[in-house]
Structure 1
Amino acid sequence: MEKTKVENLFEWMDETTQVIEQHLNEPYLDSLVLALETLYYQSPEESMDDILTHKLNTALERIQLNDYHSDDIRKAIQFAVLKGMKDTTQQQHLITPEAVSLLVGYLVQKLVKSETLRIFDPASGTGNMLTTVISQLDTSVEAYASEVDPTLIQLALISANLQKTPIEFFHQDSLRPFLLDPVDLIVSDLPVGYYPDDIRAASYELKAKEGHSFSHHLFIEQSLNYTKHGGHLVLMVPNFIFESEGKDELHAFIQKHAHIVGVVQLPESAFKSKKNAKFILILQKKGKNTEGPKQPLLVQLPSLKNTSAMEDVLSKMNNWFKDYHNNRSEQN
């Protein structure tokens, strides 16, 4: 069988990454950054020795970047990142499943009806979800992203460059203040767990009464801080978020500051394990003339591989969004 473009490009990335990994004795993901930079700049880094430079120049002769569409590039990078993450056990080194990122993009398309859009992902990881969402939008987009992990943000930056997707990145702890005006839309696959900085957490309404606070609670508060009044948030949150410690405070906080637009329950089969399972929480930040939907969108998705069941659900969601926008135009 003939290989697809994505397979060809992934193979090139993987082989080139392994050459760098063996030569420099660097981890796979760090070596991948160097391989992608070599591809983007069409030449090896000047600091590399003659042997590695020669090997990389030979590799570059085998690939024509212009032959690949941005979607091919994004998917090939995703496969390479997944391979690199198999060797790491860190919780933050999990990538949002492709089908879920596409679904978030679909929800954003249905939710936001404007010609220009300022969008922000405060926990962007390798940037895969954000670039997947942007690739589905027909509007003019101004995009921002933040990530604390140095390897992940380097991957996100070079990946966005290769896809020709302009994104302004912040390399910082996303629970610290940003030099950023509030945006129209936040999309994010929120990190789950405890936030170690109790002093920083103390400035949040959703801080824990004692001990470390949940980072996923603080991220919801921070995301609302950087959303315009009337703006939307499409967040991937853990299945247990409204059943665990601090749930009452979280619920009260959301009721005070936002309208719950919808909850899309993702199938457990989309995740590595049950404990990693998430749902999509859609919020609208309250503003002067905002009103929540009469009936929020409540969806339990079938297996994403079950195309006929998915088509049925998408048709119902399309109808719900049609009503949602009709009711909003009547309000205005």
Structure 2
Amino acid sequence: MSEKDMQSYFDKLNKANSLLMESLKVSNIDTLAENLTNISDGKVYVENSVPDQATVAKLEAIYQELKQLNLTPLQLKQAITVAIIKAQKDDKAEVNKLMTPDAIGLIASLIAYEVLNVQNKKTVNIVDPTVGTGNLLIEVIEQLNMTDKFHINAAALDNDDTLVALAKSFSEVMNLNLDAYHQDSVADWDITDIDMAVADLPVGYYPIDENAKNFQTSAESGHSYAHHLLIEQTMNNLNDGGLGIFIVPSQIFQTDQAKKLSEWMVSSVYLQAVLDLPANLFASKEAQKAVVVLQKHGNNAKQVENVLMGTIPDTNNPKLFEGFKDQLQDWAKNFKG
């Protein structure tokens, strides 16, 4: 399958977006979500005669052409992620809502794979409590699926209804089984029986102080950091011994609220890894992020002897990256049940 077919898929999807956007008069991301749902359903959704029959006919013709492009799952995903990047750029989306790059998803999936493999898990229930565009979760699922070792059930939560719709439609086109919920993830969850969480956490203050009070990571005064509350809430909702793989600001342990976060970690979870992501993935030092791996107490979980620390090498440097994979494998042996 050539690059040409992938480009062709993106071009046709782009054309469908332009057509549908004129009818719906909504944002680029809303339009993309609607188009992906239509592609997955095999028909154009019409409400109150919108879009009109002429537009429906044009869209159906494009969907037929898309169907004939026989892309592999990863190529299909790439074509859709380029469409998401374009839509977010055109919408001037805020930083917290921007798509998580594939390279970060690849790193998260490697960590997940090494631990799950050692634990010899066959069925894995994964959640992303701040799913956004869905790219991080879908990349992790796709990478784990390629190993043919696991049966993955996935759930996604987000307080942005547009992004929840996009993540759901993205997963449907990818033929993945994903349950998506539009909700504030700091509030109570309806889902249970979760083995693992992956999340690229939005950074900033959480506005509902009343809710924040229920958490040990809440601020002494003023608004609490949303990413701290989300980490605590997610770990609370995991099964005993469950793993949380969080993408967080590199400075997370150096802020004015870090003390509360550290105190909670010491009492409630095992901090198993803190790894800075490759610098080339970020525009500036301030924007730099890290991966923090936490494990919930219980079910034979224990603190690893040596917390995995350091900077992950650039994924485009095969030699250094292979060395990182070896380190990961050694570290993962700590998770034997």
Q: CA deviation at 1:288?
A: 5.7
Q: CA deviation at 1:242?
A: 0.3
| 2:179 alignment partner in structure 1 | 168
Q: Does structure 2 conserve the Cα–Cα contact (< 8 Å) formed by 1:97 and 1:271?
A: no
Q: CA deviation at 1:148?
A: 1.1
Q: Which amino acid aligns with 2:165?
A: Q
| 1:91 alignment partner in structure 2 | 95
Query: Does 2:28 correspond to 1:54?
Result: no
Work out the CA distance in 2 between the residues paired with 1:255 and 1:194. 23
Query: Does 2:264 correspond to 1:246?
Result: no
Q: Does structure 1 conserve the Cα–Cα contact (< 8 Å) formed by 2:203 and 2:227?
A: yes
Alpha-carbon RMSD: 1.8
What secondary structure, in the 3-state scheme, does the structure 1 residue paired with 2:20 have? helix
What secondary structure, in the 3-state scheme, does the structure 1 residue paired with 2:247 have? strand
Work out the CA distance in 1 between the residues paired with 2:171 and 2:126. 15
CA deviation map 1:228-255 (0-9, x unaligned):
1211111111111100011111111001
| 1:69 alignment partner in structure 2 | 72
Work out the CA distance in 2 between the residues paired with 1:278 and 1:170. 26
Q: TM-score, normalised by structure 2?
A: 0.91
| 2:26 alignment partner in structure 1 | 26
Work out the CA distance in 1 between the residues paired with 2:214 and 2:322. 44
| 2:122 alignment partner in structure 1 | 115
C-alpha spacing 1:286/1:89, structure 2 compared with 1 (3 Å):
same
| 2:213 alignment partner in structure 1 | 202
What secondary structure, in the 3-state scheme, does the structure 2 residue paired with 1:259 have? strand
Work out the CA distance in 1 between the residues paired with 2:330 and 2:10. 39
Work out the CA distance in 1 between the residues paired with 2:171 and 2:86. 19
Q: Does structure 1 conserve the Cα–Cα contact (< 8 Å) formed by 2:276 and 2:291?
A: yes
Work out the CA distance in 1 between the residues paired with 2:27 and 2:320. 41
Q: CA deviation at 1:65?
A: 5.5
Aligned match of 2:279 in 259, 268, 280?
Answer: 268
Q: How many correspondences in the alignment?
A: 325
For structure 2, list consecutive stretches of 5 or more residues without a partner in the other structure: none
| 1:313 alignment partner in structure 2 | 324
Q: Does structure 2 conserve the Cα–Cα contact (< 8 Å) formed by 1:123 and 1:147?
A: yes
Work out the CA distance in 1 between the residues paired with 2:278 and 2:58. 44
Identity of aligned residues (%): 28
Q: TM-score, normalised by structure 1?
A: 0.92
Q: State the structure with bigger RCO (CA 8 A, min sep 6), 1 or 2.
A: 2
Aligned match of 1:278 in 282, 285, 289?
Answer: 289
Work out the CA distance in 1 between the residues paired with 2:55 and 2:328. 52
Q: Which amino acid aligns with 1:70?
A: P
Q: CA deviation at 1:276?
A: 2.5
What secondary structure, in the 3-state scheme, does the structure 2 residue paired with 1:46 have? coil
Q: Does structure 2 conserve the Cα–Cα contact (< 8 Å) formed by 1:258 and 1:283?
A: yes
Q: Does structure 2 conserve the Cα–Cα contact (< 8 Å) formed by 1:270 and 1:304?
A: no
| 1:295 alignment partner in structure 2 | 306
Q: Does structure 2 conserve the Cα–Cα contact (< 8 Å) formed by 1:233 and 1:283?
A: yes
Q: Does structure 2 conserve the Cα–Cα contact (< 8 Å) formed by 1:20 and 1:26?
A: no
Aligned match of 2:132 in 125, 131, 141?
Answer: 125
Q: Does structure 2 conserve the Cα–Cα contact (< 8 Å) formed by 1:125 and 1:147?
A: yes
C-alpha spacing 1:4/1:315, structure 2 compared with 1 (3 Å):
farther
Runs of 4+ in 1 over 3 A off after TM superposition: 2-5
For structure 1, list consecutive stretches of 5 or more residues without a partner in the other structure: none
